[in-house]
Structure 1
Amino acid sequence: MKLPPALPSKAQLERLRATATYRTLNLCSLGAGVQSSTLLIMSALGLAPREIPRYDAVIFADTQFEPDAVYKHLEKLQEIAHAADIPFIRISAGNIRHDALKPSGHYATMPLHILGDQGGRGMLRRQCTDEYKVKPIRRSVRAVLGAPIEDGHVGKVPAGRYAMQHIGFSFDEERRVRDEPPGAYNELEYPLIRLRMTRQDCMDMLAQYGLENTPKSACIGCPFSGNSRWRAMRDTQPDDWAAAVEFDEQIRHGHPAAGVALKGRAFVHRSRVALAQADIDRVTAHEWRGRQGEISLARYEEEPPGCSPYGCRRTEIPPEAAVEAGA
């Protein structure tokens, strides 16, 4: 299988750079989940042209460790984009699984759940999203705006060039939006929030166009996964489940490239036991019965929000879960 490149293709760069010389580019940061898939559908079909124009390009940053269902869905999105003459940019900063396990070189930590030698609990800092999602997309945005590229390094955007970058947060996710001022060459926009479209609205729209089974976009071994995702993976995606179990076992002592021995053991499941033995069938609300914040914690455990490069996850973890996880 051909691996995705680090930057847009020559043809994509030529087309978008030419456009950027005389107007603002309209770009979509595609996560391939429900909300960003809705943005692409609405753009391609012209369903809300004032809020969601025809995109000049959509950009997907591939961690190369996504579930098979995501890659199959991505093929459908590419067909939709192609039919609407929207360039589909698929780039990658590398294979996150391989990088996490290789014995040397640069690495970006995942938010693994840690069980200390003395029984203490913690969580590693999340650096993976920035490394494998945010930075590759930013580099691509600069590149299509005309920034010089030399030996893979993307320089500064020429003065006067700008991009509006659409992010797929729905109206019920407004709390996730970071309060960031416009940048020197781009501005983030959240059209689904302006349209007051909820996640359910997005799901209903996708169903109308044959995309009712749009999966959540998250790495196979993402430690932010809740029991419902682990169960679905085990029961319906055996290959992905096997890969997740294998990764969990291999990452037990942390990232070998760190150079410093982990004081404890690392797990992808928040119970801090091997994924293969984790009680993912347990009813979470029962597990936390009698504790303050039971409902919010149960919701977090069963359906944690997706891993987005443009929204802070920490603010979404209920206090009870954050304390327990060391977050």
Structure 2
Amino acid sequence: MNTTTPTAPDPGPALRLLSLGAGVQSTTVLLLACEGVIPRFDVALFADTGWEPRAVYANLKRLTAHAEKHGIPVRQVSAGNIRADALDPEHRFVSMPLHTLNPDGSRGLARRQCTSEYKIIPLKKAARALLGYPHPQRVPRGVYAEQAIGISTDEFTRAKDSGLRFLRNVFPLIDLGFDRARCIAYLAERGFGQTVKSACVGCPFHGNAGWRWVRDNDPDGWAEAVEFDRAIRHGYPHATTQGRQLRGQYFLHRSCTPLDQVDLDAPAKSGTTRHLRLLTDPANGADEDGDPDGCSPWSCRSGEPVTAVATPSDSAERAA
């Protein structure tokens, strides 16, 4: 006798969500949904750290108006302003992946909690609320939201599951065969050719190219980043006031040099010269271009020190 319990059919997602960063890839995904190339989203969620470049906020405003004409609401979720919080002695200590210069001259990278605190947790809370089961309610088995992530084919290794039963990640650009270059061309054809990469103004994962862009295109953001870099040289104010003295010095730039003293000049434009330079010293590629993966929610590289805080019910949800 066959005693195997038949598997219940998947009822399909209760909601279709988009994790919107308002950068190149996620903007492409939203426009594809507006055009009906992929299924329409019930909601597009923008996790706002409070410190994106002005160009990203301008694109978000335009996207919001465009998407809502096509019946897709765009909602912002936030855990606060990451820059203001980091400098507030009264605010809970949340570590950014700052570059560290240790007393013995060695270098390192501080623990990264900001992606979880300012992006993943707000998005997760919003998904729960939209499903109708805010914390601490348990999301019933079989009830889930489908969440689209803007990862293109050239980044396929970043495609990760959410790790939660009530939130299932899908990757429309990979399904459609879109790489970043095709996304850029697609946006240009639709009048969104000025879309820039989404990342915090003061993200320590910027390479020289990213810092040059901030300096040359967002002067207010550049001034904020320079001041922030000075302010965190010996750690975060809250950690210091709580007696948690952080050893060494902390910097936004990977060279462990004050940001306003770094030589950000572009390398030689010759493709051959650049290719040979990278073959000789691959680290130069990181210096110029930064971390290619950055800190997008749900797609952090395996092994990166991302610290997430899980609620008891979320821990249970993972036992799928």
The match for 1:186 among 164, 167, 175 is 167
- Corresponding residue number in structure 2 for 1:239: 220
Q: Provide the residue aligned with 1:226 in structure 2.
A: 207
2:234 paired residue number: 253
1:63 paired residue among 29, 49, 52: 49
Give the structure 2 partner of residue 88 of structure 1. Answer: 74
Counterpart position of 2:313: none
Give the CA deviation at 1:103. 1.1
CA contact (8 A) 1:116 1:263 kept: yes
Q: Check if 1:169 corresponds to 2:151.
A: yes
* Cα distance in 1 for residues equivalent to 2:162 and 2:123: 18
User: Per the alignment, in what secondary structure is the counterpart of residue 284 of structure 2?
Assistant: helix
Aligned pairs for 1:253-292 within 5 A: 253-258=234-239, 259=242, 260-281=244-265, 283=267
Q: Which deviates the most, 101-110 or 271-280? A: 101-110
Q: How does 1:60-139 map to 2 (within 5 A)?
A: 60-139=46-125
Shift of 1:120: 1.6
The Cα of 1:291 is off from its aligned counterpart by: 8.1
Q: Give the match for residue 196 of structure 1.
A: 177
Query: Structure 1 stretches of 5 or more lacking a match?
Result: 1-20, 317-327
Shift of 1:154: 5.3
3-state secondary structure, aligned to 2:265: coil
How far apart are residue 188 of structure 1 and its match? 0.5
One-letter amino acid of the structure 1 residue matched with residue 223 of structure 2: A
Which one-letter code corresponds to 2:192 in the other structure?
Answer: L
Classify 1:23/1:125 alpha carbon distance in 2 versus 1 (closer, same or farther; 3 Å).
closer
Distance 1:291 1:31, change over 3 A: closer
**CA distance in 2: counterparts of 1:29 and 1:204, whole angstroms:** 21
- Aligned length in residues: 286
Partner of 2:15: 25
1:263 shift after superposition: 1.0
- Are residues 1:207 and 2:188 paired? yes
Tell me the CA shift for residue 298 of structure 1: 3.5
Change in CA separation of 1:218 and 1:95 when aligned onto 2, cut-off 3 Å: same
CA deviation map 1:168-199 (0-9, x unaligned)? 00011001122x38732121111111111100
Query: Residues 86 and 35 of structure 1: is their aligned pair in 2 closer, same or farther, counting only changes over 3 Å?
Result: same
Give the deviation of 1:238 after TM superposition.
1.1
Distance in 2 (alpha carbons) for counterparts of 1:167 and 1:284: 35
Cα distance change, pair 282–264 in 1 and its aligned pair in 2 (3 A)? farther
Q: 1:182 to 1:278 in 2, by over 3 A?
A: closer
Cα deviation code 1:85-139 (max 9, x no counterpart):
1121101001101111111332221100011122121110111000000000000
Match of 2:296 in 1: 308
Q: Secondary structure at the match of 1:276?
A: helix
Q: 1:209 to 1:274 in 2, by over 3 A?
A: same
How does 1:132-147 map onto structure 2 within 5 Å? Answer: 132-147=118-133
Provide TM-score, normalisation by structure 2.
0.82
Cα distance in 1 between the residues matched to 2:162 and 2:56: 32
Is 1:268–1:275's contact at 8 Å kept on the other side of the alignment?
yes
Unmatched 5+ residue regions in structure 2? 1-10, 305-320
For the structure 1 residues 265 and 89, does the alpha-carbon distance in structure 2 shift closer, same or farther, using more than 3 Å as the test? same
CA apart distance, 1:300: 2.9
| Contact 1:284 1:301 survives alignment (8 Å) | no
State the distance in 2 between where 1:155 and 1:290 align.
55
Give how far 1:284 is off. Answer: 8.8
Task: Tell me the TM-score normalised to structure 1 length.
Answer: 0.81
Higher mean C-alpha displacement, 127-136 vs 103-112: 103-112
Question: Does the aligned pair in 2 maintain the 1:145–1:158 contact within 8 Å?
Answer: no
Q: Secondary structure at the match of 2:259?
A: coil
| SS of aligned partner of 2:224 | helix
